Structure 1
Amino acid sequence: MARHNDPHKPLKSRPNPLDAAGITCIDYKDTDLLRKFISDRGKIRSRRVTRVTAQQQRQLARAIRNAREMALLPYAHR
């Protein structure tokens, strides 16, 4: 199953949301930002979905795990 109908049509790229907002430091206490990168089931969204770099994805994952440990974010949503 092909993803794109026309192979000659250029792909539309979405900008990195962290770079667009000018965010350089990802902090575990910034729960409003971290919630944007968590699914409705409580899972950390993938890089393919969020369009962040590998380094930013690692920082986000670590910050989300720290926030969960400190009870700032839930482990799962019901």
Structure 2
Amino acid sequence: MLGDVCIYVVGKDEYDELALAEVIFVITSSVKDACGKPPTERLFLDKYGKICLCLDEIVWKGMLENTDKDRIRRLIRLKPPTDV
């Protein structure tokens, strides 16, 4: 439960409990960043586009792609990533 929003994550094969725990942590952190605070239902709907961009960067075609919160934040701003 994140504010007024429930988030469910399921996986199979290589996505065991540890991988899903990491995914749920990244998703909740990204949603909090996108909303600026734990979301209410209204705030979640107001920031829906930005939240969808975050989710698109985290999971792509059912595969875990990004778990780095800073990288996700840069990618949703549509700035090219820089090598660190």
TM above 0.5, one fold?
A: no
Instruction: Specify the structure having the higher radius of gyration (Cα).
Output: 1
Higher helix share: 2
What is the TM-score when the length of structure 1 is the normalising length? 0.30
TM-score by length of 2: 0.29
Q: Looking at secondary structure, tell me which structure has more strand per residue.
A: 2
